[in-house]
Amino acid sequence: MSLTPTQRADLERNLAHAVTGCSERGLYHGAKWAAELLNSLPEGEHSITDPPPAPDAHLERRELPRFLLAKALFDSREYDRAAAVFLPRPPPPPAPHPVPPTPPQPPLSALSKKAVFLALYAKYLAGEKRKDEESEMVLGPADGPLTPNKDLVMLSNTLEGLLTSYYAAGSNGDGWLEYLYGVFLAKGKNETQAKEWLIKSARLRPFHWGVWQELTALTANAEELQQSIAALPENVMTFIFHVFANQEQMRFNAHVHTALTQLLALFPQSPFLKSQRALLYYHSNDYEEAAAVFNDILRSNPFRLDSLDCYSNVLYVLGHRAKLSNIAQCAALIDKFRPETCCIIGNYYSIMSEHEKAVMYFRRALTLDRTFLSAWTLMGLEYIEMKNTHAALEAYRRAVDVNRRDYRAWYGMGQIYEILEMHAYGLYYYQRAAALRPFDPKMWMAVGASFARGGKLSNAIRAYKRALVAGSYQKKMGGSAAELRASGGALDPDTLYEVAKLYERVGDRREARAFMELVIAQEESHPTDNDATFGVGVTPNTSKARMWLAKFHYAAGDYNAANELATQLCQDGFDVEEAKALQRDIRARIEAM
């Protein structure tokens, strides 16, 4: 993918205008994202010009002193005071002595759209701030959806009326007000309408990154993603949205990697796009590759904390304590009050088995940002380690409230209900996790184990076979041991053993024998494998399978086969005494013949 000089100039101009537009409206994350992408373009001649005048530029000129005051108050986080510069003031309480009347504010329809946006957004943030203050401590009695933003309904109704009047007059909200209305609707759980307004905003202001983030949060699956993309203009931002949404939904196929490679050809130095590559590797459990990409990002952007919490997760899984300690120290020096920093430090304490300190830092991250998903899921894991199932369950529930697509929260709730021996609930949550993560064998193994505990053996067998297919990256599920063997590739011996035991429980000893033989076959490399060193070697379950087969042949009267398997067991180092006893019985039977 390459750009002509004209296309490059348009792209630079649109990104620069997005930085300015977001900054003027207090959308700092969107401004930072656009500026970062602008600076990741290859070196060349810059042709950035001033943005064209807004349709209501005369209003902006007239209210400039008040807008500058409101923006200064907004930047000082005095949100109520910033909103009061433009919004009508509520009537004052009755006073014992007459007070001079305050001059009335002009109606919102007489203001520029930029002033309307800043006023309503400031009022919304003031309500969010009050909501967080009323929620008090994380996981406290007032924390959660029970504490609403009390200004949300009023703001939503006000903006709805304004947008209706704008569209009736043949105008629009300039893309920014459509975005804000979409945010209000999404907060009010009116997701269908929110998505419609966000798509309108994306058509008008495609380089405002906040729109695409909100759209991604409202997109539940691949089908909804395709519907959204079909309604959006074909441009580079829609292409980035496609990659970002797939990454957020943890789809890491070759098509997504190819699309990301094409984008990196346009923006070769973009840390955001590089982090998407690292996250794709992370979701596919390719932790070494993810660590390499994160390390490259950190070298080129040593003060960038975005997505660094995921890097700490990777280092945690790989067991790199020294590296994780170093990242935690660096993050604390950069900004100790960022949620990412708190999660990194929490992961460090977790890997050191200091779970109370880890929980303290995860709670600190959530105090800074209640929607920070990683902190909820990681805190749930820590509470499980501390045997506090009630707190762990609540943390996972809050994670699901933040992002329903997070399979880790669903899986965690399944684990907790299994600990509590509420197997029906555990099965439900495992199935939700497996639906979100269909190619992860761990999810299907959990589903199979739950079915087996509930006595649904045929369902358990099907779930374990799905785990085998997912583990060997096969697209078709084998119906029998023969079909699985014909499919080629590596199979997990532990899962095979569970399937064999289930077949034994349902009375199908023929299939049980076939799967036990498959278990033993995983000790050595498969003839279709390129890696000659492949093979799990002798494990407890391969030895159990060998013992089962030895007893099977002994019962069938095939003493030579049984003796050969028993001899192998004596060499394995597992169940040696039982194998020797079996050999004595075999010799006695042979001598008696």
What average pLDDT does the structure give for the chain? Answer: 87
Q: Are 339 and 379 in contact (CB under 8 A)?
A: no
Digits of tens for pLDDT over the chain (593 positions)? 677 888 888 999 999 999 999 999 999 999 999 999 999 988 765 566 666 677 777 787 888 888 889 889 988 889 999 999 888 765 555 555 555 555 556 677 778 899 999 999 999 999 999 988 887 778 877 777 667 889 999 999 999 999 999 999 999 999 999 999 999 999 998 999 999 999 999 999 999 999 999 999 999 888 999 999 999 989 999 999 999 999 998 888 889 999 999 999 999 999 999 999 999 999 998 999 999 999 999 999 999 999 999 999 999 999 999 999 999 999 999 999 999 999 999 999 999 999 999 999 999 999 999 999 999 999 999 999 999 999 999 999 999 998 888 899 999 999 999 999 999 999 999 999 999 998 899 999 999 999 999 999 999 999 999 999 887 643 334 455 555 554 445 688 899 999 999 999 999 999 999 999 998 888 875 544 554 445 677 888 888 888 898 888 888 888 888 888 888 888 876 778 888 888 888 888 887 76
How many Cα atoms occupy the beta-carbon half-sphere of 392 within 13 Å?
Answer: 23
Q: What is the pTM of this model?
A: 0.86
**Residue 373 and residue 489: Cα distance in Å, rounded?**
36
Q: Are 72 and 94 in contact (CB under 8 A)?
A: no
Q: In terms of Cα–Cα distance, which of 368, 362, 423, 367 is closest to 396?
A: 362
**Residue 362 and residue 375: Cα distance in Å, rounded?**
5
CA–CA–CA angle 53, 59, 61 (5° rounding)? 70
Q: According to CATH, what is the number of the domain 486-592?
A: 1.25.40.10
Q: Are 559 and 587 in contact (CB under 8 A)?
A: no
Q: Can you spell out the DSSP letters for 129-170?
A: HHHHHHH-STTSTT-STTS--TTHHHHHHHHHHHHHHHHHTT
**Residue 311 and residue 350: Cα distance in Å, rounded?**
15
What is the per-residue pLDDT for 541? Answer: 86
Q: Are 176 and 208 in contact (CB under 8 A)?
A: yes
Residue that has been written with the tokens 């399944």 in this structure: 414
* pLDDT tens-place string over residues 476-510: 344 555 555 544 456 888 999 999 999 999 999 99
Beta carbons within 10 angstroms of residue 524's beta carbon: 12
How many Cα atoms occupy the beta-carbon half-sphere of 9 within 13 Å?
Answer: 8
Q: Are 208 and 231 in contact (CB under 8 A)?
A: no
At 349, list the tokens.
């304490």
Beta carbons within 10 angstroms of residue 17's beta carbon: 19
**Residue 356 and residue 295: Cα distance in Å, rounded?**
29
What is the per-residue pLDDT for 44? Answer: 65
What is the per-residue pLDDT for 475? Answer: 38
* pLDDT tens-place string over residues 112-133: 899 999 999 999 999 999 988 8
What is the per-residue pLDDT for 577? Answer: 82
Backbone conformation region of residue 307, classed left if phi is above 0, alpha if psi is from -120 to 50, else beta = left
Q: Quickly list H helices, 284-334.
A: 287-300, 308-318, 321-334
At 88, list the tokens.
């009508």
Alpha carbon 582 to chain centroid, angstroms: 52
Residue that has been written with the tokens 């707190």 in this structure: 391
Beta carbons within 10 angstroms of residue 288's beta carbon: 9
**Residue 510 and residue 517: Cα distance in Å, rounded?**
11
CA distances 49 to 7, 15, 53, Å, are 14, 11, 12
At 27, list the tokens.
């959308």
Sign of the alpha-carbon torsion through 509, 513, 519, 520: positive
What is the per-residue pLDDT for 154? Answer: 93
